[in-house]
Amino acid sequence: MARTAEWILERTPGRVVIAAANSHIQRHHPAFDVLGTHLSAMLGDDYVAVGVTCEGGRVVTRRLAPGAPAMAETVEAGLEPPVAGSIEAAIGTGRPTIADPGRYAADRIRLLDTYAEGPVAEAFDLVACVPVSTPTEQAVWSGGRF
């Protein structure tokens, strides 16, 4: 993904917006390099990672299912209220919000129906938070089972 972005940037003047999962775009990942870590190294301050999250609602997530295609199934899961220490608890206002995570000591951000742990300010330059997540019918992989 990073090489594709690099290829585009070498051939296209201006900026490129890449829409990808938070776990792909974050500047720093605790376990390994991802798209965002590569782009951050390549572009420095010209790379802006914007995380997207929600205060509550429902998400589509994956569960291990040995009998399903790819040994996983997709399921819809309800979200509990934000946990203490999360960016959602810190910036949640009940309305759409964009915030600088450096203003908060948040050490986790939602990842599907769980949390990715680590300093949110190291991973993202900004975080957009909406009050409610509601998946569409198309969000559930048609080859999975409910």
Domain boundaries, the chain: 2-136
For 96-146, write each residue's pLDDT tens digit: 999 999 999 999 999 999 999 999 999 999 999 999 999 887 776 554 444
Backbone φ, ψ for residue 35 (5° rounding): -45, -50
pLDDT digits (tens, 9 = 90+) for 52-107: 999 999 999 888 988 887 888 888 999 999 999 999 999 999 999 999 999 999 99
Q: What one-character DSSP code corresponds to residue 101?
A: G
Instruction: Choose among 130, 128, 129, 118: nearest CA to 27.
Output: 118
- Is CATH 3.40.1660.10 the classification given to domain 2-136? yes
